[in-house]
Amino acid sequence: MRPIFAFAASLALLLPAGAALAETPKAAPTRKADLADRVAGTYKGDVISDARGSSRGDVTITVTRTGPNKVEIRSDYARIPTVTIPLEKAMDTILAASGPSVFLLDTVRSPDRLDLTIDDASWSGARVQ
């Protein structure tokens, strides 16, 4: 028994302080994906109507999850301001739960197509793969 004890003692001297007692890192708790996760991404499309200006093509929209069922919409077109939109699901569509903006994504018929109306500018486009 003596040689095993000596080996264990010498091994403890080689380890950094506290390493012998250190716990293995625990994985971060996984959260259930929500509507914001489903729609997050980059979309390209066109401003198809604008009450304060003309239509415009090749506009990029970035949808970022900011919280449970909540997204931030950013655009590379100045006429579409950055907004935060709470989401809800109705039948097969994901829509804006409240507020003045329209957010519409049909999860069955066209799951990669997004339609928005923000500040009187209507935009329609598809997710960039």
Quick one: 125 exposed, middle or buried, by C-beta within 10 A (0-12, 13-18, 19+)?
buried
Q: What is the pLDDT of residues 11-37, one digit of tens each?
A: 455 555 555 555 667 776 788 999 999
User: What percent of the chain lies above the pLDDT cut of 90?
Assistant: 73
Q: How many CA atoms lie within 13 A of 21 on its CB side?
A: 2
pLDDT at 52 over 80: yes
User: What percent of the chain lies above the pLDDT cut of 70?
Assistant: 79
CATH code for residues 35-127: 2.40.128
pLDDT at 113 over 90: yes
pTM over 0.85: no
Domain map (residue ranges) of the chain: 35-127
pLDDT for res 100: 97
